[in-house]
Chain A
Amino acid sequence: MSTIRNEIRFLLNGREVRTSDVGSSDTLLDHLRIDQRLTGTKEGCAEGDCGACTVLVGRRSGEGLVYETVNACIRLLASVDCCHVVTVEHLAGPGGELHPVQQAMVDNHGSQCGFCTPGIVMSLYSLWMGNPAPTAHDVEVALQGNLCRCTGYQPIIDAALAVSKKGAAGNDILVKQRNAILDQLKSLDDGARVEVSRDGETSILPSSVADLVDVLGDNPDATIVAGSTDVGLWITKFMRNISPAVFIAHLKELKQIDVTADGVTFGAGVTYTEFEDVVAAEFPHMAEFWPRIGGWQIRNMGTIGGNIANGSPIGDTPPALIALGATVTMGSKSGRRTVPLEEFFIAYGKQDREPGDFVEAIHIPRPGNDDINAVYKITKRRDEDISSVCGAFCITVAEGTVSQARIAYGGMAATPKRASKVEAALVGKLWTEETVVKAMAQFEKDFTPLTDWRASADYRAISARNLLRRFYLEHTGEPVRLARSTAA
């Protein structure tokens, strides 16, 4: 058993915070606004969808230090242990001179009511640090998680494109102080397990995966918290008590990504953002789909492991991973076990995960050379929306004939589910429109979708089968994708 520390420590703007007064449902936003009186960061929705609460969290990654935008409203306070939290108050210079990002927003009339503005400034700041000369598309991606109701966004985009003319990143406080901050964060990190409690609410940050196994052995009913993009809402929206909460996103072992000839194996703590390069290199068919998962802040926080572990029928990654034949490995006191991902989802809200189990790793086999792959996500709003229907396809065509088909859908059943009748109608048949039309008729045997606020059952049924047609047409060269080319 490792040593235990009973306080969390982090850097907040230019100073160090140490506190043991931390409940498991304390959000970073409430801590900033109520305890620290840093009211520049706003609450707009308390569910990670509007971005008014956007702050940066800097954390050690490898030998370096990365700053990422997060939604402070659903980021839990305990999880910023050994991190650097940066709020809008930290940007202006000591004499009040505006940061280039702020100045560009002012000069381009990027604020009207101003309430979303601090969050937008933080997203643009983060973009500017990593990409000082972005395209309009880059800016749109950076702002997926920031709602503005007044401006219609054009002046904000203009501001983002103009920042590089306002000043170089070299003068920025976080750039200039990076080494010093890194040293400070290293000195905060004593390698201990962290346990903090208030009013009977406990948060535990294990020191390693081995320690996690012990912690879960002792607390089999604990709430495992990775990115808190879902668990955060259990607190802010449903006021659930998640104690004892066991945090895992900081565990380096769960951040491992191994790319081999067999495929890709990665830890449950890998965020969507951390996986983006792997998607581009290994699974290019998901390159357009990937940045449509949540907004930027959510992708910086959320983990693929968490998306799987929570078993939502409308989670973005399960259909895509099922089509690729992914497996999931669970760790626990009694050892590891690996199951095909599609078997992990048993029923609505029920996964093949016993108390004390935790999702440890995911493996995606490398697609074959003859495979045709696609993932299509249909939403009411293109960006930062939850799927009405998500269809993922992996078909092997040999000499014009479908030799293998794996098709999985989200939003069509109580769990992410394969379209086995549709698959059967394709396998062994010529890869032709006629085959596709026949297979489309099988969807109604695979799925009986529901009507809800995202889509009607009819729409789900029609668009689900049309996605197979899109998949076919796309591979015959027919233009089936909407293109967007921005003027700027």
Chain B
Amino acid sequence: MTAQANIKGGVHTDERHDSAHKHVTGRAEYIDDMMEPVGTLHAYLGLAEQAHGEIAKLDLTDVAAAKGVVGVLTAEDIPGVNDISPTGQNDDPVFAEKTVEFHGQPIFAVVAETRDAARRAAALAKVEYKAKRHVIDVDDALDVDYPHVTEPLKLERGDVESAMAGAPHRIKASQRVGGQDHFYLEGHIAFAFPGEDDEVTVYSSTQHPSEVQHMVSHVLGTRSNDVTVNVRRMGGAFGGKESQPSLFASVAALAAKKWGRAVKLRPDRDDDMVATGKRHDFLNTYEVGFDDEGRILAVDGTFAARCGFSADLSGPVTDRALFHADNAYYYPHVRFNSRPMKTNTVSNTAFRGFGGPQGLITAERIMEEIAYHLGKDPLEVRKANFYGDEGRDVTPYHQTVEDNILNQLVGELEESSDYAARRKAVLEHNASSPVIKKGLALTPVKFGISFTATWFNQAGALLHVYNDGSIHLNHGGTEMGQGLFTKVAQVVADCFQVDLEKIKITGTTTGKVPNTSATAASSGSDLNGMAAANAADQIKNRLVDFAAEKYSVPEDQIVFEPNIVRIGNVRKSFDEFIKEAYMARVHLSAAGFYKTPEIHWDRDAGTGRPFYYFAYGAAVSEVSVDTLTGEYHVDRVDILHDVGRSLNPVLDKGQIEGGFIQGMGWLTTEELWWDDEGRLRTHAPSTYKIPVASDRPAIFNVDLATWSKNREATIRRSKAVGEPPFMLAVSVLEALSMAVASVADYKICPRLDAPATPECVLMAVERLRGGA
């Protein structure tokens, strides 16, 4: 046996996405690509055309009579419960019954021989409404005292009133933060296959197969063990497929059971955007008290969100906004309140950052306010307020920040990006350029990792070693492009010390790993990596016991070396060793499990340790703005980001770059626009503008803080990466803001709201030129 130095594809190495070769050849199978059994039917949803009203008449005669139609489904056809609320609030009907609560709410479904026939038939419904007052914007919801969709949260520490009253400087203002459509390239889809008795199998483009399973059984009035949900991969998700897939899966399953045929449901892009939830828009009001040095003494903030007609995930989303409203800064006296407002719009949902970005952005606005007020570089103000040592290390939710690395990280980024010289150059440019103005900003991110619903922080994996030495890996996480399957396979390869190619990655299914949490909160690798490692360790322990006994060597002399097992002085190939173990009747399959230690959270008291650890990062962005039209370019971005000891640096870099650009889209061109009737008018890529290739920074330097190592015992000391980099894009908004501020000699904080479309930028320029 020749020894190999390292396995191929182990942890901490750049390994390509396991499906890359299938992506580029078109052979990666998405649900709409699956072979359709003979007799497959297609369902399509009929959507409300009224923002709020009673259904006075629902006439589906023409729908049912249309060519190719097999039948229609309404709330009356639901054998179980007409509800898919992910938080058990019973406020999220599959089909509206008496009342519609937003323009685009599903009222019925039509099932036909082809998708085209179903879609055309759905348009033939005759629905009459008795209109009720509708509320679209969060301001209006606050004005008319519309209800909360869920219980608000309050975080408080210290004595805000006294500290504020004693502060040498006080500023009070508000900030508007836009929502965002996920715009996963693969829209929602479900494909249901009826089985025996009450069984049904659903292929669902979902981040949360277990929830889809529970919701389908809830709607069908069966048990979870009747329903199997499968997903091999999604064409993007970003939070948009956490709670939202249940609608499509339930309707497809309902139709499949009713007609005994396979049923597929795939909405058109417009319907997907109109009928499914988005990132919450927020209206944040803040008051800050600070000293002459720019050190914050007290902050009082209220974070009101457009939640839409139902709770969905708005509770935890608005909670997370509060958890991140401090971002990286120590507030000696602080009070945050959430206002999860009901509106007659689609129920908003999870989206990368999960409310965190909408809270964090106000911390960064506060830094700007102080800097412009005192005539300082905002970076100076930021550094003066970073979490520090004992006495300056407790968050508004009373968790101590023990792992802060921002001083080092920001210091390095300042240096590598040449921040100081470039800021000087920007100021000089602006002094001599009347039309084109530049801006430069450095903003940090500190993001808490763990589900704040503590029980979600668990995961399972199922690992089989077949008697030829090949390994079958399954876990509860889902693959949406982030490379989770690759990373977890790298962990298993590392555990057994076998090349990555030995491990077969298999699609997620509720039949193999039960009671899983959503692949969300950036937790996929942390949780599933640990669960898979646990499964591998169980099998390894059995193998060690077996070898120790058979070869009469101490356990510590049985070592898994690259593709070889060494037993004392004997080396056997992994395959040969496994065959021996099989012949000796060693159990070569294991179900792994993991739960995150140490975390706890008392929501009523507003105290605890909701996060296992924090991930950090910072970005410097430079922009140019045309002050005649508000158009702009992002000229350069430098990022330094912390992923601990990366499981796969190149995949992590992909998450950072992609997250940043997505965040930039949120803060710049992605604008959701509802008309007075409550209709979303930006419901397709022709009207809703996500970044294209030419929007990426002309110069884009992205580095990992390679020296960072998670101080907690996470999987191979790595850190989560999915969400934190999204918020690095706040630096773009602030750079735009600086360019705007230049027209009033940096004396006024521009209070540039998001998204800062060219229009928003030009209007701010006009406002500042007018002296306000």
Contact = CB atoms under 8 A, between A and B. Distances in A.
A277 B64 CA distance: 54
B694 interface: yes
Contacts of B120: 239
Contacts of B183: 147, 149
A469 B435 CA distance: 10
B633 A152 contact: no
Interface string B231-246: 0011111100000000
B347 interface: no
A337 to B, nearest CB: 34
A482 B628 contact: no
B673 A453 contact: yes
Given A383-B692, A459-B763, A113 B186 contact: yes
Interface string A96-117: 1010011001110111111111
B759 A456 contact: yes
A109 B16 contact: yes
A402 B498 CA distance: 79
A156 B626 CA distance: 29
Given A49-B684, A381-B689, A113 B628 contact: no
Contacts of B184: 113, 115, 149
Contact of B698 (A46, A382, A467, A487): A487
Interface string B182-203: 1111110000000000000000
A119 B20 CA distance: 14
A290 B288 CA distance: 49
A112 B25 contact: no
B771 interface: no
Interface residues of B, number: 88
Nearest to A465: B628
A368 interface: no
A87 interface: yes
Given A114-B235, A150-B236, A154-B696, A463 B185 contact: no
Interface in B1-52: 16-17, 19-30, 32-33
A470 interface: yes
A118 interface: yes
Interface string A145-184: 0111111111111000000000000000000000000000
A484 B692 CA distance: 14
A478 B28 contact: no
Contacts of B700: 154, 487
Interface stretch (B103-111, B330-338, B655-663): B655-663
B690 A149 contact: yes
Contacts of B182: 149
A380 B689 contact: yes
A178 to B, nearest CB: 23
A43 B270 CA distance: 13
Which one of A43, A150, A469 has the highest number of Cβ atoms from chain B below 10 Å of its Cβ?
Answer: A150
A140 B691 CA distance: 12
Contacts of A384: 692
Contacts of A388: 758-759
B741 interface: no
B759 A114 contact: no
Contact of A115 (B25, B30, B483): B30
A453 B763 CA distance: 16
A47 B631 contact: no
Contact of B26 (A87, A110, A480): A87
A139 B480 CA distance: 26
B628 A467 contact: yes
B757 interface: yes
B384 interface: no
B269 A149 contact: no
Interface in A435-455: 452-455
Nearest to A142: B693
Nearest to B766: A462
B241 to A, nearest CB: 11
Contact of A380 (B33, B757, B766): B757
Nearest to A474: B435
A52 interface: yes
Interface size class of A (residues with CB under 8 A): 35 or more
Given A45-B269, A148-B185, A484-B633, A155 B654 contact: yes
A50 interface: yes
A487 B626 CA distance: 22
Interface in A367-393: 378-386, 388
Contacts of A153: 661, 691-693, 696
A150 to B, nearest CB: 5
A237 interface: yes
B689 A385 contact: yes
Contacts of B20: 105-106, 109, 111, 114
Given A112-B17, A462-B762, A484 B698 contact: yes
A92 B16 CA distance: 19
A121 interface: yes
A139 B25 contact: no
B626 A480 contact: yes
A386 B686 contact: yes
A102 B436 CA distance: 40
Q: Which of B25, B433, B482 has the most CB of A within 10 A?
A: B25
A386 to B, nearest CB: 7
Interface string B422-444: 00000000000111100000000
A467 B629 contact: yes
B26 A39 contact: yes
B662 A88 contact: no
B481 A112 contact: yes
A276 B11 CA distance: 50
A414 to B, nearest CB: 18
A109 B24 CA distance: 11
A118 B186 CA distance: 13
B628 A144 contact: no
Nearest to B682: A453
Contacts of B119: 239
A425 interface: no
Contacts of A231: none
B651 interface: yes
Contacts of B629: 378, 463, 466-467, 470
Nearest to B480: A113
A463 B19 CA distance: 47
A157 B691 CA distance: 14
A486 B628 contact: no
Contacts of A217: none
Interface of A: 30, 33, 38-47, 49-50, 52, 87-89, 91-92, 96, 98, 101-102, 105-107, 109-118, 121, 139-141, 143-144, 146-157, 236-237, 239, 378-386, 388, 452-456, 458-459, 462-463, 466-467, 469-470, 473, 478-487
10 contacts: A47-B684, A109-B16, A112-B17, A112-B482, A116-B235, A118-B25, A152-B691, A382-B631, A459-B630, A459-B759
In the complex, the 9 A-B pairs of residues with the closest C-beta atoms, listed nearest first: A40-B26, A113-B481, A115-B235, A114-B23, A152-B661, A112-B481, A49-B685, A39-B33, A453-B673
